[in-house]
């Protein structure tokens, strides 16, 4: 049996129109009531600065420090409620691409916001662009200067200190490196009664003694260890142990300051010189004479004598 197309289209036309109207109604109900358009603000969306490596390849570097507050933004989005509900600061990407800004100067980088669905759109954003200063990449070596901080207890002294490295290598913006006058490493002596080693970061100072902070620099090594020799100090009389000294006057200090541990120095009331023959000492010439010291005990200054006829 053959049925014409026109007859198929016109058969039960009322029922077909009703079905169409119901379909439109249910579609509108789902869209408008079950999944309506809505807005929401997504907070602390990270701003990712990309293609840093391209700057390095062109001997360039970002010279301004980018604070943590500048590395995120808030974005208000609009779209179907189900889509908006699933959006968060982990599936929204904000990218500042440096690949087209390979020259020295200040550049305003537009932000590329990538949403997790094409059904979403950006209504408002707290950051519209990203400003960076680009400078020539430079490298320079600086000696490490150890700076004492704090106060030791009475009768204790810093005998010596030595950093683990004598110099550091700093890489960064050329203009920033030109402002660095010296690199200091602090060592805290507060309450120190024995030798110790501290590991600290660096303090960068300008020629006006202003600390240089909030700059993007690569320092190698990142930290330095400083070994400090701390000793107890005690001043004791010196006994002269000389031969062939008859008729000769020996001009020398009466006392000497010793360094060592407190328990050792507490048992020392005086020290003597090693035995020396005055006949072999040049007259009126300062001559160093060794002291007979116990193991582990050091003297502050050389013991010098002057033989006078």
* Residue boundaries of the structural domains of the chain: 5-34, 37-127, 136-230, 240-308
Please identify, in words, the CATH class of the domain defined by 37-127: mainly beta
Using CA atoms, how far apart are residues 56 and 48, in angstroms rounded to an integer? 17
| The CATH number fitting domain 240-308, selected from 2.170.120, 3.90.320, 2.20.25, 2.40.10 | 2.170.120
- Ranked by mean pLDDT, the top range of 5-19, 26-40, 211-225 is 211-225
| Tens-place pLDDT, residues 20-30 | 776 666 666 65
Using CA atoms, how far apart are residues 305 and 309, in angstroms rounded to an integer? 13
| Tens-place pLDDT, residues 222-262 | 999 999 999 999 999 999 999 988 888 899 999 999 999 99
Using CA atoms, how far apart are residues 102 and 134, in angstroms rounded to an integer? 8
Whole-number percent of the chain with pLDDT over 70: 88
With beta carbons less than 8 A apart as the criterion, state whether 90 and 43 touch: no
> Considering the chain, what is the average pLDDT of its residues?
89
Helices of type H across 74-173 = 81-86
* pLDDT for 3 beyond 60: no
- Ranked by mean pLDDT, the top range of 8-17, 52-61, 233-242 is 233-242
Which residues are CB-neighbours of 232 under 8 A, at least 6 positions away? 155, 156, 193, 259, 260, 261, 262, 265
Whole-number Cα distances in Å, 126 to 70, 75, 263: 11, 7, 67
pTM of the predicted structure, to 2 decimals: 0.67
| Tens-place pLDDT, residues 150-207 | 999 999 999 999 999 999 999 999 999 999 999 999 999 999 999 999 999 999 999 9
Please identify, in words, the CATH class of the domain defined by 136-230: mainly beta
Q: What pLDDT score was predicted for residue 35? A: 73
37-127 and 136-230, same CATH topology: yes
Among 11-25, 54-68, 204-218, the least confident range? 11-25
Using CA atoms, how far apart are residues 20 and 209, in angstroms rounded to an integer? 82
């Amino acid at each position: 049996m053959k049925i014409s197309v026109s007859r198929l289209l016109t058969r039960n036309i009322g029922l077909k129109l009703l079905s169409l109207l119901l379909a439109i109604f249910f579609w509108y109900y789902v869209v408008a009531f079950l999944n309506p358009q809505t807005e929401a603000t997504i907070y602390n969306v990270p701003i990712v600065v990309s293609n840093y490596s391209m700057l390095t390849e062109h001997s360039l570097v970002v010279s301004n420090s980018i604070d943590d507050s500048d590395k995120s933004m808030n974005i208000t989005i609009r779209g179907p409620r189900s889509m908006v509900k699933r959006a968060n600061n982990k599936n929204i990407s904000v990218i500042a691409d440096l690949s087209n800004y390979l020259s020295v100067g200040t550049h305003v980088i537009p932000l590329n916001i990538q949403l997790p669905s094409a059904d979403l759109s950006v209504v408002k954003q707290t950051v519209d662009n990203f400003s960076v200063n680009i400078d020539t990449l430079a490298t320079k070596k600086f000696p490490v200067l150890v700076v004492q901080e704090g106060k030791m207890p009475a009768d204790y002294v810093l005998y010596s200190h030595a950093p683990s490295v004598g110099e550091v290598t700093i890489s960064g913006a050329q203009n920033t490196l030109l402002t660095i006058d010296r690199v200091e490493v602090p060592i805290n002596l507060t309450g120190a009664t024995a030798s110790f080693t501290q590991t600290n970061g660096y303090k960068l100072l300008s020629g006006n003694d202003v600390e240089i902070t909030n700059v993007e620099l690569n320092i190698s090594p990142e930290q330095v260890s400083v070994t400090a020799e701390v000793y107890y100090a005690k001043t004791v009389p010196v006994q002269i142990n000389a031969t062939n000294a008859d008729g000769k006057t020996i001009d020398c200090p009466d006392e000497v300051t010793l360094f060592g541990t407190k328990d050792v120095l507490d048992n020392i009331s005086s020290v003597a010189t090693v035995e020396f023959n005055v006949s072999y000492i040049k007259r009126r010439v300062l001559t160093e004479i060794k002291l007979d010291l116990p193991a582990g005990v050091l003297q502050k200054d050389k013991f010098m004598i002057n033989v006078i006829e």
